[in-house]
């Protein structure tokens, strides 16, 4: 295989409603798409870097720069046997996993399309349906939060994750447990706490949460290990795990009992599969996180979620929760049982809607 050219494209897409986490509010998304022409077959992917470097250090701007000026030169004109080789070819660039992950995932889509098989089968996925949860942003009031949870439960979602931050934590969760004693409930702090806050986090043990996601510093695996010793609630790491080595360190230290795998955060499918396999060997379940993606990124998340150790419901939900109109055909839909049927078409199995994509595009750059 050889990449003939790459189109970078930025889209302006407004979410249906603002999404608030402990590190800010997202509303107007800048969606960066990568279209890689591999021997005449075009693979699509989405770069999940944010508008601002608040979740991780990358942004749309840094990703664009790194894709154009550093990653593309490493691949340009190079012959390779499979998308699985791309990660190693990009190794001389340190970090910038979201930029790498986008290019890498586009190659996987292209390879699957060349072979006329679904991407999830090329990856070694084993399930035809994935279990879905939702991630609910921080709300003004408890009543508003309860209303949002009820709406998602009525839609069939199998587990509810709510964002927390200092001052919007214990009482919110207490209220949810009072109103919904039996649901699968978890919280995500996006690194809003310090180890010294452990007594407050310990109080959350009373609510038998499935897990608490990334309570402490985004690069602080050690403190999570200290915290996990104090809590019965399982810790799930998100922001802290970018590499196989960090995952191995986290497991060895006992810093978590669950890992949220995001394709972009770990640099693509090759990195994601390595962490997946490591967790599987160690009896650590994983689930697929989300980054407020358009349908393109969502499609890749669905494919990833078919791997066998994705045994917990992920944050992969319907297009309609985020977008008035998505950029793929069909849109991502969730069944009343809270599942997504995995598509059987070639590659990602969702068609990019070129007309709509063109309309939303704010800039493009051709790498050739
Ligand atoms: O921490 O999982 C997170 C969105 C943006 C950045 C970080 C996170 C999230 C979410 C939303 O929780 C998940 C989704 O796409 O539905
Ligand atoms: Mg998270």
| Per-residue model confidence as pLDDT tens for the chain (368 residues) | 999 999 999 999 999 999 999 999 999 999 999 999 999 999 999 999 999 999 999 999 999 999 999 999 999 999 999 999 999 999 999 999 999 999 999 999 999 999 999 999 999 999 999 999 999 999 999 999 999 999 999 999 999 999 999 999 999 999 999 999 999 999 999 999 999 999 999 999 999 999 999 999 999 999 999 999 999 999 999 999 999 999 999 999 999 999 999 999 999 999 999 999 999 999 999 999 999 999 999 999 999 999 999 999 999 999 999 999 999 999 999 999 999 999 999 999 999 999 999 999 999 999 99
CA distance 46 to 102: 5
Both tokens assigned to 206: 């009373």
> Does 163 qualify as catalytic in the annotation?
yes
- For strands 361-367 and 3-21, give the pairing: antiparallel
pTM: 0.98
What tokens does 185 get?
């409930």
Nearest CA to ligand 1 atom 8: 291
Which ligand neighbours the alpha carbon of 163 most closely? 1
158 in ligand 1 pocket by Cβ < 6 Å? no
For 52, other C-beta atoms within 10 Å of its C-beta total 12
User: CA end-to-end span of the chain, whole Å?
Assistant: 15
Catalytic residue among 163, 165, 168, 274: 163
* Closest of 350, 351, 352, 353 to residue 120, by C-alpha: 350
Residues with CB under 5 A from ligand 2 (ion): 188, 213, 238
Q: In whole angstroms, how large is the CA radius of gyration of the chain?
A: 20
- Closest ligand 1 atom to residue 188 Cα is 1
Q: How far is CA 333 from the centre of its chain?
A: 17
């Amino acid at each position: 295989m050889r990449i003939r050219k790459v189109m970078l494209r930025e889209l302006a897409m407004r979410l249906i409603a603002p999404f608030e986490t402990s590190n800010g509010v997202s509303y107007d998304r800048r969606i960066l798409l990568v279209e890689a022409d591999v021997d005449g077959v075009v693979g699509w992917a989405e770069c999940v870097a944010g508008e601002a470097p608040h979740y991780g250090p990358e942004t749309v701007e840094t990703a664009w720069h790194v894709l154009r000026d550093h990653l593309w030169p490493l691949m340009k004109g190079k012959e390779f046997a499979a998308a699985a080789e791309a990660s190693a070819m990009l190794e001389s660039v340190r970090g910038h996993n979201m930029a790498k992950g986008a290019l890498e995932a586009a190659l996987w889509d292209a390879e699957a399309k060349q072979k006329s098989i679904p991407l999830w089968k090329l990856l070694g996925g084993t399930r035809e349906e994935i279990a879905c949860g939702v991630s609910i942003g921080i709300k003004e009031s408890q009543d508003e939060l309860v209303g949002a949870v009820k709406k998602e439960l009525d839609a069939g979602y199998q587990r509810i994750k709510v964002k927390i931050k200092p001052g919007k934590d214990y009482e919110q969760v207490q209220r949810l447990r009072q109103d919904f004693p039996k649901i699968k409930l978890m919280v995500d702090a996006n690194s809003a706490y310090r180890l010294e806050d452990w007594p407050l986090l310990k109080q959350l043990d009373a609510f038998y949460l499935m897990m608490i996601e990334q309570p402490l510093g985004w690069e602080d695996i050690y403190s999570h290990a200290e915290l996990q010793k104090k809590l019965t609630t399982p810790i799930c790491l998100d922001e802290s795990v970018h590499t196989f080595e960090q995952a191995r360190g986290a497991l060895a230290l006992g810093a978590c009992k669950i890992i949220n795998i995001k394709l972009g955060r770990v640099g693509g499918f090759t990195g994601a599969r390595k962490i997946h396999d490591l967790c599987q060997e160690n009896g650590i379940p994983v689930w697929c996180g989300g980054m407020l993606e358009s349908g393109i990124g969502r499609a890749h998340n669905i494919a990833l979620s078919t791997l066998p150790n994705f045994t917990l419901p992920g944050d992969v939900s319907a297009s309609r929760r985020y977008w008035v109109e998505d950029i793929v055909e069909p849109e991502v839909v969730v069944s009343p049982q809270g599942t997504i049927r995995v598509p059987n078409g070639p590659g990602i199995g969702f068609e990019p809607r070129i007309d709509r994509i063109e309309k939303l595009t704010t800039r493009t750059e051709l790498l050739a």
